[in-house]
Amino acid sequence: MKKQFLAAVLSAAMIGTMMLSGTAAAAEDTVQTLTVWCWDPNYNINALRVAERIYQQDHPGFTLDILERNAQETIEKLATSTTSGKMDELPDVMLFDDTMVKQELLSYPEAFTDLTDLGFNYDEFSPSKVAFSTIEGRNYGIPFDSGTALAFYRTDVLEEAGYTIDDFTDITWDEFIEKGKVVLEKTGHALLNGMGAYNQVAIMLASAGSGYFDEDGNLNIADNKAIKEIVRIYTEMVNGGVYMEETGWDMYLGNINNGTVAGAMNGCWMMASLQAAEDQSGLWAVTNLPKLDGIEGATNYSSQGGSTWTISSNCQNPELAVDFFKSTFGGSTELYDEILPTGAVATWLPAADSEKYEEPVAFFSDQPVFSIITQYSADIPIFITNAYDSSARNAVVNAITNVIYSGAEIDAELQAAEDTVAFEMSA
């Protein structure tokens, strides 16, 4: 596997070098549009439009052609285009969730441009962020936003139940469930909802600095105390009505924005979607996450999502793509200042020196949210990622579903989950 990967990397690097060897003049005379696949109009696409406008100040002929694709659609299209030999179907630029980018790089190395020697100053980015798209010392991504997780709560609903935001700060998950049942009883509102357990499990597991694999790459599911505790907690939340399971993103966000659900627990990027409900300004506040009690290394801090830009090997003008990202996401405080109100907190370190990070945010009860995010980021434990993380998480989510809806036994289900992933890895 390693030899095959290195061979593919060398091949891709040689192709990338040849593509970049044209003169700047030739590039100026050819393609001045970059095609991009990404998701979320209020967040990622908005950031691209701001970056486009900034870059156009010195490159008036430049444009972005953005196709909105959700994360899973991009992954599926990358797979079909690459395996069928139709690389020309790929765009110039693709966005990937940080938790998935390494898996895609390892699976389809020939589809990406090696950016290591093309002038990005990776020392100016958060090291943990850079690591998501680094393989054997080579860089394949442009880090974008922080995924620092926040607990968001409707303060008016908490007040109706007799609580304040302080009552949900520095608490354990058992305390959260207890308070959540009171909120449900007194107000009729569940505190959280989500698209099944997929995202919630990831946030909770990362808060303990744990993962589905150990440091040597060995599966660590069946005997993982943190995972067992998460299954117990999640099951209690669903059965107690504290957590509502939804069928998709639209339903998930809709029930938050229309007031059916009184909270959310996501990466800080969620701020943009919450603020779309302008009539709720001043009714939200943020704090840290509940903590897994009795688990070594567990904290009240975590990360979810965040994303990384990649340049495909099918890019029609890689020199232009490189310069665009060096000038914007890797070089413009103006960009990060402008997109900051959407919750897009930079992992490009110079951006954090802006005074805007200390400003109160009216929507979130005048809290200095961006300063809070920066503080929380420092306390997020390091957690291990693996190319098979997605498969492992799917297996664990399936185990949780069986426990909740079929009455299955936790230990047996987690062993079955580990066996499933082990079989896939051996194939």
Residues 197 and 227 in one domain: yes
pLDDT at 382 over 80: no
Domain total of the chain: 2
How would residue 14 be classed by pLDDT, with cut points 50, 70 and 90?
very low
Residues 277 and 418 in one domain: yes
Question: What is residue 4's predicted lDDT score, i.e. its pLDDT?
Answer: 47
Range of the structural domain that residue 397 is part of: 149-303+380-426
CA gap 330, 104 in Å, rounded: 22
Residue 223 in domain: yes
* Cβ contacts of 28 within 8 Å, gap of 6 or more: none
Question: What is residue 21's predicted lDDT score, i.e. its pLDDT?
Answer: 44
Residue 365 in domain: no
Question: What is residue 31's predicted lDDT score, i.e. its pLDDT?
Answer: 65
Looking up residue 403, the CATH number of its domain turns out to be 3.40.190.10
CA gap 5, 222 in Å, rounded: 30
How far does CA 205 lie from the centroid of its chain? 14
Residues 80 and 112 in one domain: yes
Would you state the structure tokens that stand for residue 71, as one six-digit string?
């994360």
Question: What is residue 248's predicted lDDT score, i.e. its pLDDT?
Answer: 87
Where is pLDDT greater, at 5 or 118?
118
Residue 360 in domain: no
Residues 330-361 pLDDT 10s: 999 999 999 998 888 888 888 888 898 889 99
Helices (H) and strands (E) in the chain, counts: 17, 12
Residues 255 and 391 in one domain: yes
Residue 370 in domain: no
Residues 242-300 pLDDT 10s: 999 998 889 999 999 999 999 999 999 899 899 999 999 999 999 999 999 999 999 99
pLDDT at 214 over 60: yes
Question: What is residue 289's predicted lDDT score, i.e. its pLDDT?
Answer: 98
Residues 333 and 198 in one domain: no
Residue 134 in domain: yes
Contact yes or no for 417/401 (Cβ under 8 A): no
Own/partner pairs for 46-50, CB < 8 Å, 24+ apart? Answer: 46/272, 46/339, 46/342, 47/144, 47/145, 47/329, 47/335, 47/339, 47/342, 47/344, 50/335, 50/338, 50/339
How would residue 1 be classed by pLDDT, with cut points 50, 70 and 90?
very low
Residue 69 in domain: yes
Residues 9 and 139 in one domain: yes
What is the helix (H) or strand (E) element at residue 86, kind and residue range? none
Residues 298 and 316 in one domain: no
Residue 268 in domain: yes
Residues 101 and 232 in one domain: no
Residues 165 and 268 in one domain: yes
Residues 120 and 204 in one domain: no
Residue 181 in domain: yes
**What is the radius of gyration, based on Cα positions, of the chain?**
22
Residues 246 and 345 in one domain: no
Listed residue (328, 332, 380) closest to 354, CA to CA: 332
Residues 295 and 309 in one domain: no
